[in-house]
């Protein structure tokens, strides 16, 4: 059985464990600093499995020893946003937490692939690569599947069609300057720009950009967790099953899209080795401008880390 360790057993971490166990994808270790919490959640989840007939082991712990030999390490440890906060406001607090997590996790699982969720996402993925000292293809950040799923949900609701017919691609940094690529998105092959009026489309793009904030203001404590954790699950499955699945995700760029030395949301092919390939879309001038604006924000935050 494959082994996936999730660092941070809060809302996104434990919900990821839930989706993974339900799909019988791997044995799971949940690690958190809170005494008893990961153990309690792991046991509760383990006790749910007889009902659905799934056989995976789920362990909760406050130490990294149990994570030893993991195929994948998912890092969700850190603070979530409060209403009114931007993702960037979390930078300094989460840098300490993610550094410690990456350092401890790599010692136990030197060959693992890391999937990062903690915000600010693109910067935390970069930090993990540096601290763990592993090749870029073994680190990938989750943001694009979620942002694209939000846009797909809004389009499906607007048109009254199945979400299965809606394909959207949101790339760039995981912040308010993310880039919903309208020209590359479609409904059953019909370009989004034909299927929707400019007003409808404009409203959907805006709601997508602020999709995380919309949930934060509704919840008042904490941020979204169902959609982010199913997005991680899709990435875990693509890696463990060596699917060569192309998804929007944060990968290390070394010249692709004219950008260098940052993690950034692009179409990424995921397989057993991690990031197998980055696909480059042809962009118009305005799309490229949006990419560059988003990348500047990510670069500024990376610079603050003084790595």
Binding residues (CB under 6 A) for ligand TXD: these are 7-13, 31-34, 76-81, 90, 94, 97, 100-101, 117-119, 121, 142-143, 146, 174, 222-225, 228
Smallest distance, ligand TXD to C-beta of residue 224, A: 5
Smallest distance, ligand TXD to C-beta of residue 81, A: 5
- Closest to ligand TXD by CB, 193 vs 304, is 304
Residues 6+ apart with CB under 8 A from 4: 20, 25, 26, 27, 28, 29, 70, 71, 72, 73, 74, 236, 240
Catalytic one of 18, 167, 174, 184: 174
DSSP of 276-305: EEE------HHHHHHHHHHHHHHHHHHHHT
Tokens read off for 292: 């560059």
Residues 6+ apart with CB under 8 A from 3: 26, 27, 28, 29, 69, 70, 71, 72
Residue nearest to ligand TXD (CB): 10
- Closest to ligand TXD by CB, 32 vs 71, is 32
Beta bridge partners of 30: 6, 60
The CA distance from 297 to 175, in Å, is 9
Smallest distance, ligand TXD to C-beta of residue 119, A: 4
DSSP-based helix, strand, coil % in the chain, nearest 5: 50, 20, 30
- Closest to ligand TXD by CB, 8 vs 172, is 8
Tokens read off for 83: 């209403």
90, with CB counted inside 10 A (0-12, 13-18, 19+), is buried
Smallest distance, ligand TXD to C-beta of residue 167, A: 19
- Closest to ligand TXD by CB, 30 vs 192, is 30
Smallest distance, ligand TXD to C-beta of residue 109, A: 15
174 among known catalytic residues: yes
Q: Angle between the 121-132 and 285-304 helix axes, to the nearest 10 degrees?
A: 50
For residue 262, the SS3 value is: strand
- Closest to ligand TXD by CB, 143 vs 201, is 143
Smallest distance, ligand TXD to C-beta of residue 142, A: 5
- Closest to ligand TXD by CB, 52 vs 218, is 218
13, with CB counted inside 10 A (0-12, 13-18, 19+), is buried
Residues involved in catalysis: 174
């Amino acid at each position: 059985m494959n082994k996936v360790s999730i660092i941070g057993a809060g809302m996104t971490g434990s919900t990821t464990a839930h989706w993974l166990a339900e799909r019988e994808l791997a044995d799971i270790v949940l690690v958190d600093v809170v005494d008893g919490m990961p153990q309690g959640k792991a046991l509760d989840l383990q006790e749910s499995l007889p009902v659905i007939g799934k056989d995976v082991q789920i362990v909760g712990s406050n130490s990294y020893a149990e994570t030893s030999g993991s195929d994948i390490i998912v890092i969700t440890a850190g603070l979530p946003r409060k209403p009114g906060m931007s993702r960037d406001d979390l930078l300094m607090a989460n840098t300490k937490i993610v550094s410690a997590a990456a350092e401890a996790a790599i010692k136990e699982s030197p060959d693992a692939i890391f999937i990062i969720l903690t915000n600010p996402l693109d910067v935390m993925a970069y930090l993990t690569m540096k601290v763990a000292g592993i090749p870029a293809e073994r680190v990938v950040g989750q943001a694009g599947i979620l942002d694209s799923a939000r846009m797909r949900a809004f389009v499906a609701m607007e048109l009254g069609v199945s979400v299965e017919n809606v394909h959207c691609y949101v790339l760039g940094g995981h912040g308010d300057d993310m880039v919903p690529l309208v020209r590359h998105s479609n409904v059953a092959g019909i370009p989004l720009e034909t299927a929707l009026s400019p007003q409808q489309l404009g409203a959907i793009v805006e709601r997508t950009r602020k999709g995380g904030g919309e949930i934060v203001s509704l919840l008042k404590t904490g941020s979204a967790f169902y959609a982010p954790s199913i997005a991680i699950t899709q990435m875990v499955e693509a890696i463990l099953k060596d699917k060569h699945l192309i998804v929007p995700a944060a990968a290390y760029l070394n010249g692709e899209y004219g950008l260098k030395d940052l993690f950034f949301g692009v179409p990424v092919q995921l397989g057993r080795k991690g990031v197998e390939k980055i696909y480059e879309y042809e962009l118009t001038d305005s799309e490229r401008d949006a990419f560059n604006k988003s990348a500047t924000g990510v670069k500024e935050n990376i610079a603050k880390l003084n790595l």
